[in-house]
Chains A and B, each alone.
Chain A
């Protein structure tokens, strides 16, 4: 009998080709779409076609599954997603940090849920359309970056439980996005021309400020106009509240200066933002919390390559332990090391692990 594989279907081109590859690999596939969000409750352009979780996307997933003779089911996880991802996303912004909800979703919802559903369905493996690869050496499983450097999604996978790697198949890791589209076109999949998905799946118009305003109006209303300070603490002007800024932001600061000014720090406690010239935004140190290793936990200090934002460049750094906290020293100072974002560690192409950036004070 063929082994069963649960394929995570979003209704996009990537997951459709994932399903195709799984069938070609000789497995018996079951398509599952996780419904994580109800757009109509929280505004934005919810008629946009590329919202996964929207009915039109789920319909496409069903069409692709039917075409390939595969059963498809939708599972409602809106409660868990709201609690674990969306509430956290809003709280992080309210705390002056810049969260990465995709990481949190993969770490706390997707993988565990899919593995659990796979067990219920008698499936041995799960498969997703992430552009990353699973590698095995002497019975140990690793994540490697995807072949398509522009599409590599290993950055958002650092938090998944290590024990799930042996049960995970990532069939797109060896392909480029163009190749994936070509395969979809060749097989005339309904999703072949689906546009790229949005940055934050639950914010239909990608406008996180509007979203937070609608999601937590009471909390946002408490944040009045704030102060804009320079690096010495001198007031340069006022702003419409720290919630509207992220570290590294240049536009919308509302000050004139011979050299452009950037947001350097966000302080919810006194509702202020600190701005400075680009050169002042470089830091050579940060702390890391919520660390997860996808290799055997290394000995510290540990020299590695660090990536501090999605699609960012890797930088050499050393992880060490100071007073029970993890600290990363970068070899070269890094621009806009942003609290709340993920710092992900690589050894060549291997994803070693990652964590959440904390300010080093």
Chain B
């Protein structure tokens, strides 16, 4: 098989070598329990706290406002479960990540009132849509920054202002945004933001939550009082350190990576544009590097399998634990015909991709489409 070409960084990213090395070293050297009094424990404790400060500085918030978790799903759960009680109203969107969407449905069964806003035809949620759904019992607004299937960007700043004016708490699942764009929490009216390390070349199984100071949440996990009592359990020291390192690298190389990814995306779209492939790039205001493409008459699942057998990884639909997939739900939510949604795939470009890789992707897609198109 040829070299593996990975075009699925919206699902997860390969870990930076520098991050892997720092994690490996910490795993061997820093085994002390951060809660222990001895030197070994103190050393681990300081690694965790230094990581917290580093992340807080990059996101421009207070150190104490960063809580470490096991990842995006847990952070989303902490917020929604920690805030919403029976009778409260939640405003969210119908194309959130399952860790918000399914949780909201679950909370709805337990007496929380939920409004699921459908994305507009352009693939985004507007601030006006959110505003019009506010009720007297609206307790929380949870709208993702960047949609994972489409790459479309939501007007988080405006939504935050609306929430603030109405004294409603505002949470955003920002996992697809952080590391790819600069997130400055001081400039947004936001109470909670979800962080996930493996979306920015960090380790899996570790994430964080920005929780504005002064807000009291009920913990999901009770125990030894770690993370300011909000998340018990011995800290995953090496992964926390790895996450901080990964965010530092992302932050330091942000402009270069953005420029590179923009060029690669434009190159790919240019190749498609000059071919006879019938396609459409879905969504309007998009984060560069996440492309949802409809290839008319070409079933997305079939395209994925064929590309995979030739060593190229892309994504189709909403993955589930069994590894099967349904038609991309976000597209259906924005009003796309199901048959067209079935012919849509997500191609997401990471910083490790080169121009030749894009060319190979394009040529392989051309060959497959000419064979399987109906």
Q: With A120-B299, A121-B302 as given contacts, are A74 and B323 in contact (CB-CB < 8 Å)?
A: yes
Give Cα A58–Cα B371 distance, bound, in whole angstroms: 29
8 Å CB contacts to A: which residues of B295-349?
Answer: 299, 301-302, 305-306, 308-309, 321-326
Q: Verify if B39 is at the interface (C-beta below 8 Å from A).
A: no
Count, chain B residues at interface, CB 8 A = 15
Q: Are A75 and B301 in contact (CB under 8 A)?
A: yes
* B322/A122 in contact, CB under 8 A: no
Does B277 belong to the interface (CB within 8 Å)?
no
Distance between B314 CB and nearest chain A CB, rounded to angstroms: 13
B18 interface residue (CB < 8 Å to A): no
Query: Which single residue of chain A is at the shortest CB-CB distance from B374?
Result: A120
A167, CB-defined interface residue at 8 Å: no
Q: Would you call A360 an interface residue if the criterion is a C-beta within 8 Å of the partner chain's C-beta atoms?
A: no
Q: Are B308 and A76 in contact (CB under 8 A)?
A: no
Residues of A close to B305: CB separation below 8 A: 30, 71, 73, 120-121
- Chain B residues with CB under 8 Å of A53's CB are 322
The answer to whether B371 touches A122 (Cβ under 8 A) is yes
Judge if A55 is at the interface, Cβ distance under 8 Å. Answer: yes
| Chain B residue at minimal CB-CB distance from A71 | B309
Contact B323 A120 (CB under 8 A): no
CA distance A58 to B320 in the complex (A): 12
B284 interface residue (CB < 8 Å to A): no
Q: Say yes or no for B353: interface residue by CB 8 A criterion.
A: no
- Chain A 122-161, CB-CB to B under 8 Å as 1, else 0, gives 1000000000000000000000000000000000000000
Known contacts A55-B321, A122-B371: A76-B326 contact under CB 8 Å? yes
Query: How far in angstroms is the closest Cβ of chain A from B9?
Result: 21
Asked whether B306 lies within 8 Å of A120 as measured between CB atoms, the reply is yes
**What's the Cα separation between A122 and B308 when bound, in Å?**
13
Whether B309 pairs with A121 at a CB distance below 8 angstroms is yes
CA distance A73 to B302 in the complex (A): 10
Bits for B186-222, please: 1 = Cβ < 8 Å to A, else 0: 0000000000000000000000000000000000000
Alpha-carbon distance between A55 and B322 when the two chains are bound, in angstroms: 5
**Distance from A112 Cβ to chain B, minimum over Cβ atoms (Å):** 15
B299, B309, B326, B372: which has the most chain A beta carbons within 10 Å? B309
Could you tell me if B324 and A74 are in contact, using CB atoms closer than 8 angstroms? yes
Report B374 CB to chain A, min CB distance, Å. Answer: 10
Q: A75-B301, A120-B299 are in contact. Are A62 and B323 (CB under 8 A)?
A: yes
Closest CB of chain B to A220's CB: distance in Å?
24
Which residues of B have CB within 8 Å of A121? Answer: 302, 305-306, 309
A58 CA to B322 CA, complexed, in Å:
6
B323 near A73 with CB under 8 A, answer yes
Bound together, the chains give a CA A53 to CA B306 distance in angstroms of 23
Kindly provide the distance from the CB of A27 to the nearest chain B CB, expressed in whole angstroms: 14
Chain A's closest residue to B308 (CB) is A71
Chief secondary structure at chain A's binding surface = mixed
Residues of chain B contacted by A62 (CB below 8 angstroms): 323
Interface membership of chain A positions 23-64, coded 1 if the CB is closer than 8 angstroms to chain B and 0 otherwise: 000000010010100000000000000000101001000100
A76 near B325: Cβ-Cβ < 8 Å: yes
Smallest distance from the beta carbon of B306 to chain A beta carbons, Å?
7
Q: What's the tally of chain A residues with a CB closer than 8 Å to chain B?
A: 17
Contacts of B372 on A, CB cut-off 8 Å?
A: 119-120
A75–B308 CB distance below 8 A: no
Using Cβ atoms and an 8 Å threshold, which residues of chain A touch B325?
76
- In the bound complex, residues from chain A placing their C-beta under 8 Å from that of B324 are 33, 35, 58, 74-76
Q: Whole-angstrom distance from the CB of B321 to the nearest CB of chain A?
A: 5
Task: Provide the A63-79 mask, 1 if CB < 8 A to any CB of B, else 0.
Answer: 00000000101111000
The complex places the Cα of A121 from the Cα of B325 at a distance, in Å, of 17
- Docked Cα-Cα span, A76 to B302, in Å, equals 12
CB distance from A216 to the nearest CB of B (A): 23
Could you mark each residue 125-167 of chain B with 1 if its beta carbon is under 8 Å from any beta carbon of chain A, else 0? 0000000000000000000000000000000000000000000
Q: Closest A-chain residue to B306, C-beta based?
A: A121
In angstroms, Cα B307 to Cα A121, docked, is 10
| B309 lies within 8 A of A74 (CB) | no
Which residues on the B side are within 8 Å of A33 (C-beta)? 322, 324
- The minimal Cβ–Cβ distance linking A248 to chain B, given in whole angstroms, is 37
- Specify the chain A residue showing the minimal Cβ separation from B309: A71
For the complex formed, measure the closest distance between the CB of A79 and the CB atoms of chain B, giving whole angstroms.
Answer: 9
Residue among A35, A120, A121, A122 with the most chain B CB within 10 A? A120
Question: What's the Cα separation between A74 and B371 when bound, in Å?
Answer: 21
Q: Bound complex: CA of A62 vs CA of B324, how far in Å? A: 12
Which one of A71, A73, A74 has the highest number of Cβ atoms from chain B below 10 Å of its Cβ?
Answer: A73
With A75-B301, A122-B371 known as contacts, the answer to whether A30 contacts B323 (CB < 8 A) is no
- Which chain A residues border B302 with CB–CB below 8 Å? 117, 120-121
Q: Are B306 and A74 in contact, with the CB atoms below 8 A?
A: no
For chain B, residues 268 to 315, give those with C-beta under 8 angstroms from any C-beta of chain A.
299, 301-302, 305-306, 308-309
- Whole-angstrom CA separation of A33 from B320 in the bound complex: 14
A67–B48 Cα distance when bound, in Å, is 40
What's the least CB distance linking B4 to chain A, in Å?
13
Q: How far is the CB of A113 from the nearest CB of chain B, in Å? A: 12
Docked pose: A121 CA to B308 CA in angstroms: 11
Q: Which residue of A lies closest to B372 (CB)?
A: A120
Closest to B302 in A: A120
Q: State A269–B100 Cα separation when bound (angstroms).
A: 49
Contact partners of A55 in chain B: CB under 8 A: 321-322
Interchain CA distance A30-B323 in the complex, whole Å: 15
Q: Which of B299, B324, B325, B371 neighbours the largest number of chain A CB atoms within 10 Å of its CB?
A: B324
Report A165 CB to chain B, min CB distance, Å.
24
Task: Tell me which residues across on chain A come within 8 A of B326, comparing CB atoms.
Answer: 76
- Starting from the known contacts A120-B305, A120-B306, 12 additional A-B residue pairs (CB-CB under 8 Å) come to A55-B321, A55-B322, A58-B322, A73-B301, A73-B308, A74-B323, A76-B325, A76-B326, A119-B372, A120-B299, A121-B302, A121-B306
Listed A/B pairs (7) with beta-carbon separation below 8 Å? A30-B305, A33-B322, A55-B321, A62-B323, A74-B322, A74-B323, A121-B306
- Residue ranges of A at the interface with B (Cβ–Cβ < 8 Å): 30, 33, 35, 53, 55, 58, 62, 71, 73-76, 117, 119-122
10 tightest Cβ-Cβ pairs between the two chains A and B:
A74-B324, A120-B302, A76-B324, A74-B323, A35-B324, A58-B322, A55-B322, A73-B305, A120-B372, A55-B321
